[in-house]
Chains A and B, each alone.
Chain A
Amino acid sequence: DAKTTQPPSMDCAEGRAANLPCNHSTISGNEYVYWYRQIHSQGPQYIIHGLKNNETNEMASLIITEDRKSSTLILPHATLRDTAVYYCIVYGFGNEKLTFGTGTRLTIIP
């Protein structure tokens, strides 16, 4: 399984953009990058995913480097409700099990 590396914690000021990095240097050609977050003790929530192009939805943007070895999740205008643990996961066709790492604990500072 492709492994991911994320910083254990980050702070971001409310209203600013939160940029969460993820390294996935062993990603293979058919594997996607997925981001989920877990707010307090709730079940994880899907945010966004991508293969090689940058993606944007109503929640966030995903920037994937050209060599696909790393990516950045961007929350454009962070609010207090974005305080959560963010997980970067890599998986692909034929290996669709979600394996979570330790994630990044993002704290939004008022």
Chain B
Amino acid sequence: DAEITQSPRHKITETGRQVTLACHQTWNHNNMFWYRQDLGHGLRLIHYSYGVQDTNKGEVSDGYSVSRSNTEDLPLTLESAASSQTSVYFCASSETGMTEAFFGQGTRLTVV
């Protein structure tokens, strides 16, 4: 069965380190999204992509970057991790043309 997977599921890192969170989907979807969710809050869009070599900033993109070199993967990089980036991160994918989106299980990132 097709799926979307995130790795790692949990990570602890130190302030100032570069961190990359992986997102891999096997649906061959064009659209991919990264969100963060803080305790008691909704999901906020970080970056999104409509296809290979396409990336766009969301509402909370500062301190994050993404690259889309193939259809299956959209890694999220924290250039220099800060304590304010402690959060749960969700990746999602959808096909072009308004179909439903599928979400990963989430990555819990703690920056100490």
A is bound by B:
yes
Contacts of A103 in B (CB 8 A): 42
The docked-state distance in angstroms from the alpha carbon of A32 to that of B94 is 15
**10 cross-chain pairs, A with B, having the tightest CB-CB distances, nearest first:** A43-B103, A46-B100, A100-B43, A100-B42, A102-B42, A44-B103, A97-B48, A43-B90, A43-B104, A32-B98
Q: Tell whether, in the assembled complex, residue A98 and residue B45 are in contact, meaning their CB atoms are under 8 Å apart.
A: yes
B8 at the interface (CB under 8 A from A): no
Contacts of B105 in A (CB 8 A): 42-43
A45 at the interface (CB under 8 A from B): yes
Q: Tell whether, in the assembled complex, residue B88 and residue A44 are in contact, meaning their CB atoms are under 8 Å apart.
A: no
Chain B residues touching A, majority SS? strand
The docked-state distance in angstroms from the alpha carbon of A98 to that of B31 is 10
A49 at the interface (CB under 8 A from B): yes
- Measured CB to CB, the residues of A under 8 A from B are 32, 34, 36, 38, 41-46, 49, 85, 87, 91-93, 96-103
| A41-B106 contact given A101-B42, A103-B42, CB 8 Å threshold | yes
Closest to A101 in B: B42
The docked-state distance in angstroms from the alpha carbon of A42 to that of B50 is 24
Contacts of A100 in B (CB 8 A): 35, 42-45
The docked-state distance in angstroms from the alpha carbon of A45 to that of B92 is 10
Closest to B98 in A: A32
Contacts of A101 in B (CB 8 A): 42
Distance (whole angstroms) from the CB of B103 to the closest CB of chain A: 3
Distance (whole angstroms) from the CB of B37 to the closest CB of chain A: 8
Q: Tell whether, in the assembled complex, residue A96 and residue B92 are in contact, meaning their CB atoms are under 8 Å apart.
A: no
Q: Tell whether, in the assembled complex, residue A96 and residue B45 are in contact, meaning their CB atoms are under 8 Å apart.
A: no
Closest to A31 in B: B98
Starting from the known contacts A36-B101, A101-B42, 18 additional A-B residue pairs (CB-CB under 8 Å) come to A32-B98, A41-B88, A41-B106, A43-B104, A44-B92, A44-B101, A46-B100, A49-B98, A87-B42, A93-B98, A96-B96, A97-B58, A98-B94, A99-B59, A100-B43, A100-B44, A102-B41, A102-B42
